[in-house]
Each structure stands twice: as C-alpha cells, then as structure tokens.
Amino acid sequence: MAKYILKRILWMIPIIIGVIFLVFTLMYFTPGDPARNALGMTATEEAIEAWNAEHGLDQGFWVRLFNYYKGILHFDFGTSYTNGVSIAGEILSRFPYTILVGMLTLVIAVAVGIPTGVLAATHQNTWIDNLCMAGTMFFTAMPGFWFCLVMVMFFSLRLGWTPVSGYETWRHYIIPCVAMGVGSSAGIARQTRSSMLEVIRQDYVTTARAKGQKERNITYNHCLRNGMIPILTVIGGFLAFLISGSLVSEQIFSIPGMGVYMFKGIQQKDVPVVLGCTVVIAIYFCVIMLVTDIVYTIVDPRMKTAMISISKKVRKDGKK
C-alpha cells in the first residue's frame, strides 16, 4: 500500500507540469495587454516597454514558460501585476482561511447530510422520507448565497447574535459555515439515502439482525459502512471544488480566502495570480483525490485489493 501511495504522489509531478503548461499557454494566447492594464491608457510607449522588461514579458513563449517552471521549483509564483505583491506569500496567508471555512462547512454538511439520508432511507416512502427529500430538494435548488443572506438578515441583523462579516473570531465563522454546510448537505443526504436503500436489502443485514444486533447498530455500523463509498465520492467532489466553491461565502462575509483572490485575479487579467492559484488548485486536487482513494480502502477493504491490482495491471500493460 505504501508503494501504491508513493507511486500516486510521484504521478502528481507530471500532472502538475501538464496543468501548468496548459494554463500558461491559454493565458499566453488570450488577448489583452497587461502592461496597458497596469499603467493605464495614458502611459507612454517607453513606460510600457520598461514595464514589460521588468516582468519578463519581452521574451519568447518558451523562455517565459521555462522561467515559470524554474520559479515554481523555489516556490516562487512571481508577483502580482496589479500591486506587485508576492503571490506565494498571498497564497500562503489566504489558503488557511479557505481550508478552515471549507473543513467546517464539510463537517456541518456531513453531520447534517448523513443522518438525514439515513433517516429517509430507513423510513422509505413515509412522510419522514418525503419531508427529508423535500428539504434536500429545497437546498439543492436554492443558491448558496441566498441562504447566506437570509441567515445574515435573521441572525446578525435582527437578533444580533453573530457579526455580519469578517474573520477575526470564531463567531464570524458560524453563519458562513452553517449556511454553506446545510446547503451542501443536500447532495450528501441524497447519496446517503440511495446508498442505504441499496444496502438495507442485502443478506448480511439480515444476518446481523438474526444475531440479535440492535437496529441502530445495524443501520450505522453494518449498513452505512457498506454504503459509504459513493457517499465518500460526493464528499471528495465537494472537497475538490472547495477552493473555487468558497468564492461565494468569502465574497459575502469578506473572508480573505483563495476564492476571492483568484476571482479578482481573473477580473483584472492578473496572469501570474491566476496561474499561481491554478497550480495550487491542481496540487490540492491531486492530494484530495489521493486521500479519497486511501479513505476508500479504509472503509472497504476490497478496494485495497482492487486498487493495488489495477496499478499492477497498468504496469504490466506498460511493459508490453
């Protein structure tokens, strides 16, 4: 298993090189003049040229690409076109906020979503099931920002329980995480319900019942463990899109995270910022995928055998 994980980590290198190449090329060919954007319409030709030379934009495509790769090796993503601040530094200071909000959101989404799904499945076709499913429909259909705003209006403005926006104390995080978490729980709840309905019919559940096992243990221990793989896939998907998904809550609550940073970068055609964020997202994405796969094998031991044999098969095919 350790070998498998190591191999997966090594695989991340070519993937990231490829991603950088793609995004770099795309940004290179998109029209627009960053120097003019930065200096304004009234800037002289000389000023523009000087600016281009300063940022290395007077060189050819390949040289620039090579320099970019070289920078990344030293964790240097360059500086922002708009304000000249180091991008690596910005990312380092912003990433923790995004992860913090994301993880809290996920914890709430799981804590709400899984029990709701289980409840719906164990009461299939009763009013409880219908109520749960109507709830998830509602939260799937309603955009996240709407829910954020409703909560702010009620809890912050009317009741004054929580601050309206900011990121200084833990109380600032309550509304963003609860609002986004409850919204995201809908997908988890739906997947949990359908997984559980699948598992509840299985023979080994009857076996557990025949042993005299308690119904609660059967549901949460025997069934849920077996239905967990597709649920984990949904959670993995949520995590994978966490950085871009965090934009809404960061924007509304003025949290200085990755989402707003990248969004501003795109708006201002700040190429190095967009590139830097993309690289970080690519690395993050690979790590999340790997972690999800490892968690799969912990939840379902059959996955371990399957995964290792797949990687062996790939190696064999590669040799041919």
Give the binding site for another protein (CB under 8 A). Answer: 124, 201-204, 206-214, 222, 225-226, 299-302, 305
Alpha-carbon gap, residue 43 to 17, rounded angstroms: 36
Which helix (DSSP H) or strand (DSSP E) does residue 119 occupy?
A: helix 87-122
C-beta closer to another protein: residue 226 or 278 = 226
In 3-state terms, what secondary structure has residue 77? Answer: coil
Minimum Å gap between C-beta 281 and another protein is: 33
Minimum Å gap between C-beta 203 and another protein is: 4
C-beta closer to another protein: residue 76 or 129 = 129
Structure tokens at 228: 């967990």
43 dihedral zone (left: phi>0; alpha: psi -120 to 50; beta): beta
Minimum Å gap between C-beta 110 and another protein is: 19
C-beta closer to another protein: residue 12 or 205 = 205
C-beta closer to another protein: residue 36 or 214 = 214
C-beta closer to another protein: residue 70 or 302 = 302
Alpha-carbon gap, residue 266 to 26, rounded angstroms: 13
C-beta closer to another protein: residue 46 or 203 = 203
Minimum Å gap between C-beta 298 and another protein is: 10
Minimum Å gap between C-beta 59 and another protein is: 57
User: What per-residue string of b and e applies to 171-193 under the rule 16 or more CB within 10 Å gives b?
Assistant: ebbbbbbbbbbbbbbbbbbbbbb
Minimum Å gap between C-beta 120 and another protein is: 15
77 touches 261 (CB < 8 A): no
Minimum Å gap between C-beta 124 and another protein is: 8
C-beta closer to another protein: residue 287 or 299 = 299
Count of C-beta atoms within a 10 Å radius of residue 77: 22
Query: 160: burial class by Cβ within 10 Å (0-12, 13-18, 19+)?
Result: exposed
Query: Of the candidates 36, 23, 35, 29, which has an alpha carbon nearest to the alpha carbon of residue 68?
Result: 23
